[in-house]
Structure 1
């Protein structure tokens, strides 16, 4: 038994409240080392003549990555408090593992064990229930549709007339979105994520000048209110993008600092390094990355904090938006986000708060800050496996297991799963224009746990390398759209809406993977239904056997709506099967 590899951390992703009466407990061990793990648990105050009273429950092997096994159990403590540890067995050894380490037998003393002090309902991770059933659609407003040419900025060029550059304006606006809501409802979208719409100098608007005003290029508050109304009438939620990590160069308080220097009342709103502030040739203040045009905000300053919290509240209160996506969220202090959550939720308790964090995000997902993060580790894993063929299905399986065990299950159910965004190359381009591979990616995305997001234009085959090419104008000429892709996505969305197990509610489990054939088979399961999905990411036909006896059951191929009578399935190259048991 490799004791050095055995790991548990209480009150984190390895021990957490799933709901107001249920605890989830995990244990990590070396891959293949342990043969059985049981949870020893009981109330810390229940004792008898033999000592502490406890019970045992067998843990299941939740998953295995390249190094570790992850064991899992669900338990409902009688009095909402629990001391617990683990009975662990290998082929050679038997040990008890608790907070004090390893021992050969149960000491019948609660103090040896790990502690979950009390299951307080306020501590349960609580994200808006509607998100699990939401299909997001990300819109970059400057490039979606030009609905009112009278709003065009100077030097606006004809729609889609050239490849975009960093400073190109095509005239996209809010009216353009309103005019094309039908495209989204036909697809089946019920959530829109808008990149920033506040007054700014650039075409991307991440350099905010005024957080309380719509950029004139996009319209005004009256038009925005109409957009919200039209969306809500069509059962579409709307999430805005805000940048509280940094402002734009022309943000009035920063201009005040540049003009009045050490006498400016706004000096402490920013992270300044010298008494005299200068932008060029090199900024002597903290910025986003190294661009002098985006000075970093000091969210620990109480006056600035009050202003930004009012921004968060204002757009929810006055316009009934449904959520905030928060740019560069990992560089802002945690206390600001705790106060931001309280402020926004006080106005709209079911508002969705989504952080842009590209890495392991557990510190932001404790229930006191974000409801979810943009799930870029998922993006990276599926792109490496299918789009780029950089890893085989076995390595891909390991990455998914690690990803899912990094967070509590109730966090995974609300994470924001994307294949690409305004910050990445177009997903079809990463697939080297192979639409069969793109379809496999869409299937993985829409059948995975969490809330999927389509980047505008991906549904009709837009291509493009990284910024600025990934921010092309949307193509509205039907003859130039890939209608086959659109129909494919529409069908996936319909499956997700019709079958609870297919989407965020289905428990995900890898059934098999093989690097030789490069296929992966996984299950999505609820109490009522089970769906088996097999992806053949190879250029050869594949025969697989479902590890279930389906001869006596009414199994169905959900893609062609035909009965599935036998366990053997033949799958064409770069194709898939979706079988409902």
Structure 2
């Protein structure tokens, strides 16, 4: 289904480093900066392993010629070395055949919530994949489609009252274009219990570490809150909602749905940073200046308390297929925008094939393997994700971390992030000419140039040159760090 054109991916706006920005000088002057506690009803606490994590979305069907768990498993050492913390597997369930789109159908047309798609392998294969990921200190979350099922899901016959029907009693899709699925009615308590138990099944049986939840805002928040509590009785989990809490999806009529769903209060660790995604696209094409990011961040700080997370990204399965590759959308600024997505506050996500410089739209309903081409951007993403993993300045959900916007030429965007003695400086140049970013004296010091992999000294009042359509990332490591 054309999920990108008919559905607003979700996410909404994270308070980018929700504390007021302060310079390193002001930071050092504050003997014990106070971190604002998360106010009620934002009671959720993230698992400890989320702090330095980045997400990686796995399209099992297209990842290898085999399209299986076992074949993908061979990539775990590479992804581990790249710095990936959380593997997000697109839906692993059998796919419906009735009204199927394409030859293989959509992952999101679920035929059986408690089974594995045989095209990908067996339950034991999935268990083995999770075990091997855990050995490398990576977590695994499953894509979960609670809002709708395939037309031939046995639940349709077993529990016909669990489904939404029109005035004539006919099953209906949740959205007109999604003709291969039918809508579930979450007013039924029995359905809620079944769905919670099904999610718990995968945590118990496959030891998965959480879920990415499809169109989460179309499912009652109370269900997600209850389910999160049940899952936590088994093990700590990470929950990512596909939604935007501040904007109605375009397929809903005005006033049809209250967008302030409170998904981040108790149920979800993160939602999509969709507004940032659209803004990066617009800035990359010159439709808005880089300074437009300032208004975005101000809106984030007003809306969300410190510690909430949004997922930053430049591509995903929906974006790649329906909106185009990052090279179609971002052009010469594809890599600078990837740098921003990885270093602005939020939890970054990389989609399958981005490290290959993938320049084709992957088919959604048919086999279309990724061409890896020797992984030309493996080093680029390794530099970003390993920095995210090790630097306290970039830690996810840290209310004490500081963000400071740095003055820079109109075609550039520059900022610094700090936590105690740890600092990271970022500057991107989206224009066609060399630019120099004049750095405040408080950011002087001995840095490591992350991409050049060499020492870089910044004297007080120094300028940082940034090549056209380029980027600079400098890390000031604490004394004694490797």
Q: TM-score, normalised by structure 2?
A: 0.80
CA shift digits 1:525-573 (9 cap, x unpaired):
111222221111110111221111566x434544432231431222221
From the two aligned structures, give the one with the greater strand fraction. 1
Equivalent of 1:410 in 297, 307, 316: 307
| Range with greater deviation from structure 2 (522-531 or 492-501) | 492-501
| Secondary structure at the counterpart of residue 137 of structure 1 | strand
| Range with greater deviation from structure 2 (206-215 or 332-341) | 332-341
Equivalent of 2:274 in 376, 382, 405: 376
1:363-512 pair list within 5 angstroms: 363-386=261-284, 388-412=285-309, 415-425=310-320, 429-432=325-328, 437-465=333-361, 468=364, 472-476=368-372, 480-483=373-376, 485-504=377-396, 505=398, 506-512=401-407
| Secondary structure at the counterpart of residue 271 of structure 1 | coil
Alpha-carbon distance change, 558 to 212 in structure 1, aligned in 2, over 3 angstroms: closer
CA shift digits 1:323-372 (9 cap, x unpaired):
11111111111221121112211211x20111110453753345322121
| Secondary structure at the counterpart of residue 543 of structure 1 | strand
Greater RCO structure (CA 8 Å; 6+ sep): 2
Assess if the C-alpha contact under 8 Å between 2:143 and 2:211 holds in 1: yes
CA apart distance, 1:575 = 1.5
CA shift digits 1:443-496 (9 cap, x unpaired):
1122122221110001111123486499841224xxx2352x211111222222
Aligned to 2:126: 224
1:351-370 pair list within 5 angstroms: 351-360=237-246, 363-370=261-268
Alpha-carbon distance change, 187 to 550 in structure 1, aligned in 2, over 3 angstroms: closer
Alpha-carbon distance change, 188 to 75 in structure 1, aligned in 2, over 3 angstroms: closer
Aligned to 2:28: none
Instruction: Find the aligned partners of 1:376 and 1:452 in 2 and give their Cα distance.
Output: 12
Aligned to 1:130: 49
> Is 1:568 matched with 2:463?
yes
Assess if the C-alpha contact under 8 Å between 2:290 and 2:411 holds in 1: yes
CA RMSD of aligned residues (A): 3.2
CA shift digits 1:71-103 (9 cap, x unpaired):
xxx8689xx9xxxxxxxxxxxxxxxxxxxxxxx
CA shift digits 1:369-407 (9 cap, x unpaired):
212112222211222212x22211122322233234322
| Secondary structure at the counterpart of residue 232 of structure 2 | helix
Instruction: Find the aligned partners of 2:35 and 2:283 in 1 and give their Cα distance.
Output: 38
Q: Which runs of 4+ in 1 moved over 6 A?
A: 74-77
Aligned to 1:547: 440
| Secondary structure at the counterpart of residue 525 of structure 1 | strand
Aligned to 1:294: 181
| Secondary structure at the counterpart of residue 182 of structure 1 | helix
Instruction: Find the aligned partners of 1:14 and 1:578 in 2 and give their Cα distance.
Output: 22
Equivalent of 1:270 in 158, 163, 167: 163
Unaligned 5+ residue runs, structure 2? Answer: 1-12, 23-32, 97-103, 247-258, 477-482
Aligned to 2:430: 537
> Is 1:205 matched with 2:124?
no
| Secondary structure at the counterpart of residue 409 of structure 1 | coil
1:231-250 pair list within 5 angstroms: 231-250=133-152
Aligned to 1:524: 417
Assess if the C-alpha contact under 8 Å between 1:209 and 1:251 holds in 2: yes
Instruction: Find the aligned partners of 2:301 and 2:49 in 1 and give their Cα distance.
Output: 21
| Secondary structure at the counterpart of residue 187 of structure 2 | coil
Alpha-carbon distance change, 137 to 470 in structure 1, aligned in 2, over 3 angstroms: farther
CA shift digits 1:281-308 (9 cap, x unpaired):
xxx6352444332111011212211111
Aligned to 2:100: none
| Secondary structure at the counterpart of residue 261 of structure 2 | helix
Assess if the C-alpha contact under 8 Å between 2:362 and 2:368 holds in 1: no
CA apart distance, 1:136 = 1.5
Assess if the C-alpha contact under 8 Å between 1:138 and 1:194 holds in 2: yes
| Range with greater deviation from structure 2 (567-576 or 363-372) | 363-372
CA apart distance, 1:497 = 2.6
Alpha-carbon distance change, 492 to 336 in structure 1, aligned in 2, over 3 angstroms: same
| Secondary structure at the counterpart of residue 208 of structure 1 | coil
Assess if the C-alpha contact under 8 Å between 2:53 and 2:86 holds in 1: yes
1:103-122 pair list within 5 angstroms: none
Aligned to 2:10: none
Q: TM-score, normalised by structure 1?
A: 0.67
Alpha-carbon distance change, 141 to 204 in structure 1, aligned in 2, over 3 angstroms: farther
CA shift digits 1:247-285 (9 cap, x unpaired):
11111122x2xxxxxxxx6232011123543xxxxxx63
Unaligned 5+ residue runs, structure 1? Answer: 1-12, 19-23, 26-59, 63-73, 81-115, 148-171, 257-264, 278-283
1:302-317 pair list within 5 angstroms: 302-317=189-204
| Secondary structure at the counterpart of residue 204 of structure 2 | helix
CA apart distance, 1:123 = 5.6
Equivalent of 2:63 in 132, 144, 147: 144
